[in-house]
Amino acid sequence: MGMTMSQKILAAHAGLDEVKAGQLIEAKLDMVLGNDVTSPVAINVFEGCNADSVFDKTKIAMVMDHFTPNKDIKSAQHCLQVRSFADKYEIKNYFDVGEMGIEHALLPEKGLVGPGSLVIGADSHTCTYGALGAFSTGVGSTDMAAGMISGKAWFKVPSAIKFVLTGKPAHWVSGKDIILHIIGEIGVDGALYKSMEFTGDGIEYLSIDDRLCIANMAIEAGAKNGIFPVDDVTREYCNGRFQGTPVEYTADEDAVYDETYTIDLSQLRPTVAFPHLPENTKTIDNVGEIKIDQVVIGSCTNGRLSDLRIAASVLKGKKIAKNVRCIILPGTQQIWLDAMHEGLFDIFVNAGAVVSTPTCGPCLGGHMGILAQGERAVSTTNRNFVGRMGHVDSEIYLASPAVAAASAITGYITDPAKV
């Protein structure tokens, strides 16, 4: 019986010729990731079991991104704890303020993950790296600690759902609209415990940033991982950047899938997820009149350079609506510099937006844009759960950078084609 792309990567890292869905395996890890929220818990576990070394100081990444620059004393203590650990164990890929970015924007950019990698991260959006043809999945802090000690993790080999993407998306339809459409179709547990494997001739029209955005939100359908085949777009991105040796895996012709969905990208419209689940989707044509108070453009989902360029193309020469706060968070220091040199910041600031340092910040209600009672935000982030961005009675509408920017101009959720 053939294997899926995800199964092949797991088999190779477990030293096996073949694996089957449901099989329990132990596999070698290429990268173990943590952030400033999850690493302290992992370090407590690490120290609690009297470990005195890490398996490989080049294969652990710790990124201080959630509550940084530190928003309060407790989060500063957390970063201090992680910083001290990274110093003591000479963790090579420790990224603090000044070097850091949002972890899932940063690791691909730095070439720490690439085709064929097996990655676990104590952050649910670790599934992002599937865009590059890696198997990557989110775990908790105990698994992170065990991974740091042993360099291994156990996995239950997942079955998979195949998504055949065909056709070319229309103008203003991005990776975000594609993944929101898919989650709207299959639901927030539609891929529970499974791989989401993307394939089809439509992929050639998707940039690396589109693919990173799509794979990033696989977890919002409950998936263990999301993964794209490696093509010239991937190779061009990883060439000269990926620090490891790329290995390209392809699913077998006779691989078995639980289900197959075919999605004609040319038929999709800009899509918005209404409160309080990512599956509550409507196309932009059906959103009605939704007045907003805040717009957030950034995050591990949509804080990349192409996202900022799209937002700038919409905002150029326009003004943010009165009483709307528009907060833009470039994903990494490099993205920040590139956006500045391209003149995007002039466009944002002249429009009345603010540009932040890279941080997860408002996405998880941490800092830098918390909502008051009754307020509504259009956000390019990945979750619109109750209270996620602030007050328990606030609302989040998930959308693409184009829709978010257009909405900032009008003060209502707006089709970017109409501003």
Partner 1 sequence: MDSVKGRVHKYGDNVDTDVIIPARYLNTASHKELAAHCMEDIDKDFVNNVKEGDIMVAEKNFGCGSSREHAPIAIKASGISCVIASTFARIFYRNAINIGLPIMECDEAAHDIKDGDEVSVDFNTGIITNETTGKTYKAEPFPEFIQNIIAKGGLINYIK
What are the backbone dihedrals phi and psi of residue 260, each rounded to the nearest 5 degrees, phi first? -130, 130
Taking the complex as a whole, the smallest distance from the CB of residue 141 to partner 1 amounts, in Å, to 4
- 3-state SS, residue 326: strand
When the beta carbons of 50 and 53 are compared against partner 1, the nearer one is 50
Judged by beta carbon, residue 25 or residue 122, the one nearer partner 1 is 122
The phi and psi torsions of 259 (rounded to 5 degrees) equal: -150, 160
Question: How far, in Å, CA of 180 to CA of 31, rounded?
Answer: 28
Min separation Cβ 228 and partner 1, Å: 21
Of residues 33 and 230, the one with the C-beta less far from partner 1? 33
What are the residues binding partner 1 (CB under 8 A)?
37-38, 40-41, 44-45, 48-50, 66-67, 71-72, 74-75, 78, 121-124, 126, 138-143, 145-146, 188-189, 192-193, 219, 222, 224, 277, 364-366, 383, 385-388, 392
CB of 357 to partner 1, least distance (A): 18
What span, in angstroms and rounded, lies between the C-alpha atoms of 201 and 211? 14
Closer of 49 and 340 to partner 1 (Cβ): 49
Nearer to partner 1, 217 or 238 (CB): 217
Rounded least distance, CB 59 to partner 1, Å: 19
Residue listed under structure tokens 């829709």 = 403
CB 408 within 8 A of CB 324: yes
Secondary-structure breakdown of the chain: helix, strand, coil percentages, each rounded to the nearest 5: 35, 20, 40
Q: Work out the angle at residue 78's Cα, subtended by the Cα atoms of residues 154 and 355, and round it to the nearest 5 degrees.
A: 100
Q: How far is the CB of 125 from partner 1 (least distance, A)?
A: 8
Phi, psi for 93 (deg, rounded to 5)? -100, 55
In whole angstroms, give the CA distance from residue 224 to residue 309.
31
* Complex with partner 1: residue 147 or 416, whichever CB lies closer: 147
Q: How far apart are CB 40 and partner 1 at their closest, in Å? A: 5
Q: Where does 230-274 have alpha helices with state H?
A: 232-238
Which whole-number Å values give the CA distances from 48 to 40, 55, 140, 150, in the listed order?
12, 17, 16, 15
The minimum distance between CB 345 and partner 1, in angstroms, equals 28
End-to-end CA distance of the chain: 52
Q: Nearer to partner 1 by C-beta: 45 or 413?
A: 45
Least distance from C-beta 392 to partner 1, angstroms?
5
Q: Beta strands 195-199 and 160-166: pairing type?
A: parallel
Locate 210 and state its tokens.
């589109």
Indicate the residue among 1 and 49 with the shorter CB distance to partner 1: 49
Question: Which residue number, 1 or 386, has a Cβ lying nearer to partner 1?
Answer: 386
Our CB check for partner 1 shows the closer of 188 and 268 to be 188
**Do β-strands 376-379 and 294-298 pair in parallel, antiparallel, or remain unpaired?**
parallel
Rounded to the nearest whole angstrom, what is the least distance from the CB of residue 366 to partner 1 in the complex?
A: 6
Whole-number Å distance between alpha carbons of 392 and 378: 16
Angle at CA of residue 189, ends 403 and 168, nearest 5° = 40
Residue whose token pair is 């907060």: 327
Contact indicator for 35, 122 with CB cutoff of 8 Å: yes
Please report how close the Cβ of residue 11 comes to partner 1 at its closest, in angstroms: 20
DSSP H stretches of helix in 21-150: 39-48, 73-88, 103-110, 141-150
